[in-house]
Amino acid sequence: MSRIIVIGGSGHVGTYLVPMLAERGHEVVNVSRGAAKPYRPHFAWEQVENRTLDRVAEEKAGRFGARIAEFRPDVVVDMISFDLPSTRHLAEALRGRIEHYLFCSSIWVYGSFVAVPSTETEPPNPIDDYGRGKAESEAWLMREARVAGFPATSFRPGHIVGEGWNPINPLGNVNPDVFSRIARGEELVLPNLGLETVHHVHAEDVAQWIVCAIENRAASIGEVFNTVSEQAVTLRGYAETVYRWFGREPRLAFKPFEEWLEGLTETDAAASRGHVVRSSSHSIEKSRSRLGYRPRYSSLAAVHEAVRALIAAGKIAAPAL
């Protein structure tokens, strides 16, 4: 068994990942700022070593990588590196000291696609700073794996969802009131013909993917993998399904994209633009064939679980599903 450090292990994915690793007999160290608690309780947390580190402050002092190396990891799962300087700082400190480094990237390394579902062979073309930071880190790590033997794997989660988070809704933003409006049977206006796509993934399935990669180290090192559900969903199909969850007939209208954005708040419009422009849709065949990845949740099943939790928490005004 390995000594595994999960950086950002108290977050949404870590809530599932850390107990999974502990149950498999690994020695697990959760590194976080100590500001968040896991979204779900689990007895395995009693077996976990928790270390409090502020990554931003430690990196400014030039010692974050050294601090992680001091914990003597065999494997490091890095959930919270967002740019190349941060990634490189940690990787250089771990060079020659670890068996496996797993980097959490994002499907937002893409801005558009030639064909869908996209595969990992399509070159990244990010359109914002977040996507560029992830893409630059990925490219550097994969080169280091090929040229210098640094044992890196990169994985690209989709729109992560599960209990405790607001899912990307049928308008492509995270405003939970959209679900309340649907539950009341109100009309929902979609962009264009509503055929743009979003691609969710349950946090538990991202955790499952990480376990698969660790257990299939030889097949994953030096590679990039999509980490999403089996299929993306269209905004229209997604909206129609949610109406029916609440026993409502769909009431949809459509507007041209830019005109549609004008009907949203500034915050919602910014999020919706990012998701609609990208229209994410990704293949998991590589993860399936090389690592044995089998997501438990479809996109809609993952959202359904999250919506039920938000109703129970009073964040969506709707009858229980």
**pLDDT tens-digit map of 251-301:** 999 999 999 999 999 999 999 999 999 999 999 999 999 999 999 999 999
**pLDDT tens-digit map of 81-92:** 999 999 999 999
Determine the pLDDT at residue 35. 64
Q: What is the pTM of this model?
A: 0.96
Percent of the chain whose pLDDT exceeds 90? 93
pLDDT at residue 18 tops 90:
yes
Determine the pLDDT at residue 37. 75
The residue ranges of every structural domain in the chain are 3-158+202-227, 161-199+231-281+297-312
Determine the pLDDT at residue 137. 98
The DSSP bridge partners found for residue 255 are: 191
Strands 233-234 and 197-198, by their bridges, are antiparallel
* pLDDT mean over 138-160: 98
pLDDT at residue 319 tops 70:
yes
Determine the pLDDT at residue 184. 97
Element (H, E) at 29: strand 27-32
State the pLDDT confidence band at 161, using cuts at 50, 70 and 90. Answer: very high
CATH topology of domain 3-158+202-227: Rossmann fold (3.40.50)
Token pair 């992560």 is at which residue? 160
**pLDDT tens-digit map of 184-234:** 999 999 999 999 999 999 999 999 999 999 999 999 999 999 999 999 999
DSSP code for 57? H
Architecture of domain 161-199+231-281+297-312: Alpha-Beta Complex (3.90)
Average pLDDT, the chain: 96
Determine the pLDDT at residue 44. 83
CB 287 within 8 A of CB 275: no
CB 189 within 8 A of CB 39: no
